[in-house]
Amino acid sequence: MTMTIKILGPGCPNCLTLEQRVRDVVAAEGLDAEVSKVDDIMDIMAYGVMTTPALVVDEKVLVKGRVPTAHEITQLLKS
């Protein structure tokens, strides 16, 4: 089953860093995942997120307001 991963953020440097880290982890681990970027503020707020960036996996907000390490992202995506 393909994981759905969304990076929520308006395009700030931290949002771009999180997106790149997630894409790197997905590629390095060979995960079956679809990564997308959500930058519309209304869509972001619909997730109850007030501080970006945020990481959403299969519609569950796992991280918000910070950029996790690549190791942490790996752990989150594999659990």
Gyration radius of the chain over CA positions: 11
Q: Is residue 1 predicted with pLDDT exceeding 90? A: no
- Interval 15-30 mean pLDDT: 97
Closest by alpha carbon to 10, among 54, 60, 70, 48?
54
Annotated catalytic residue: which of 15, 22, 44, 67?
Answer: 15
15 is catalytic: yes
Sketch out the chain's domains with CATH numbers.
3-78 (3.40.30.10)
Per-residue pLDDT tens over the stretch 26-76:
999 999 999 999 999 999 999 999 999 999 999 999 999 999 999 999 999
Question: Strand runs (DSSP E) across the chain, as ranges?
Answer: 3-8, 33-38, 54-57, 60-64
DSSP label at residue 24 = H
Catalytic residue among 3, 12, 41, 50: 12
**Residues 7, 49 contacting (CB under 8 angstroms):** no
* pTM of the shown model: 0.94
Q: Which helix (H) or strand (E) holds 13?
A: helix 13-29
58: annotated active-site residue: no
